[in-house]
Structures are given as structure tokens and as C-alpha cells.
Amino acid sequence: MIDAPLPQPEMLAAIPRLRRYARVLCGDAARADDLVQETLARAWEKRALWRPGTDLRAWMFTIMHNVFVNQRASSMREASHVSLDAETESGRAAWQVPVPPAQFTRVELVEVLQRVGRLPAEQRETLLLAAVEEMKYEEIATMLSVPVGTVMSRLSRAREKLRRMADERPAALKRVK
């Protein structure tokens, strides 16, 4: 079979969306950039599998999702073998517990993103693909290898959880009274 070249304009146009999705998956800009890089490399390596006339963006999102799932599974296996008091080559502790910032005033967008970050991974991914990337339920279902009904259910549960979280009073206000 002859390798069909990937349409570079479409590929370049997909990068900002890939970065946005990677940022939600990883929660960290540097790791997200690494995920996008790995996705682009994998897409190039597997370009013979892409079919001209199909949605290149959805194909690349599927690659990214699969790479992320594989990386997460690998890191979980590795984390099970890390000593909490071990030190790295730099002399720092191998495992550090993050300390949340003590800021009381937050931008509304940051609050929403934090709420989205509290959603289970499946719901967060589905919500991002539907709301931000404007993908159709069928595209999301294909990408995540789940039935369309599962996509609809995850999206409904994610929206409901976000509504409940928005109705909750912030912990800082509860302490003040």
C-alpha cells in the first residue's frame, strides 16, 4: 500500500486543539507538550493507517487518547515501585505531596477549570471533547471506543456534577461564618 501523505495544513490546524486536550488530560503544560509531541510523532509513524477523506483531527485525538492511557498505565506501574523517602539524583525527594495555593480570590475561569479537574477522567475527557472541541457524540464514541450512549451518559453526569459543585459554597466562606 502506498503511504498517503498526511495533509499538513489540517495537521497544523489541529495542534492548538491537541494542546488544549493534552493540557486537560495531563494538568501540566510541560507534560501536555510532551504528549502532543508524542502524538504527532506517532501520527507520522502510523501515517499509512490514516485514510484520506476521514477526519484527521479525530484520528489524531484518538492517537493522543491512546498514548495518554498507555503512559498513565505505565507510570502507575512504575509508581508502585517508588519509595516515598527515596531521593533522586538531584538530591530531592522522589515523591512530593503538592501543597495547594493559599489564594482566596480566584478568577472565575480558574474555579471552573478546578471543578472540571475534579471530575472523573472519563467525564472530564468527554466534556472537553464535546464542549470545547465541539466533537459529535459519534466521533467521541469512536475515539474513546465506547458506545454513543456511554458518551451521552458521561456528558450528562459531568454537567450535573459541575452544577452541584457550582452550587456548593466555597470552604473559605464556610469557615468565615
For the structural domain made of 105-166, what CATH number should be given?
1.10.10.10
pLDDT of residue 45: 87
| Mean pLDDT value of segment 136-158 | 93
Lowest mean pLDDT among 31-40, 93-102, 103-112: 93-102
pLDDT of residue 92: 54
pLDDT of residue 85: 53
pLDDT of residue 156: 94
**Cβ atoms 127, 159 nearer than 8 A:** yes
Question: Which of these CATH numbers, 1.10.1740.10, 1.10.580.10, 1.20.1440.230, 3.40.710.10, describes 1-80?
Answer: 1.10.1740.10
d(CA 158, CA 33): 26
Q: Encode 107-116: b = buried (16+ Cβ within 10 Å), e = exposed.
A: eeeeeeeebb
* Domain locations in the chain as residue ranges: 1-80, 105-166
Helix (H, G, I), strand (E, B) or coil at 87: strand
pLDDT of residue 91: 56
What pTM was estimated for this model as a whole? 0.53
d(CA 114, CA 110): 6
76 or 66: whose pLDDT is higher?
A: 66
Q: How far apart are the first and last CA of the chain?
A: 70
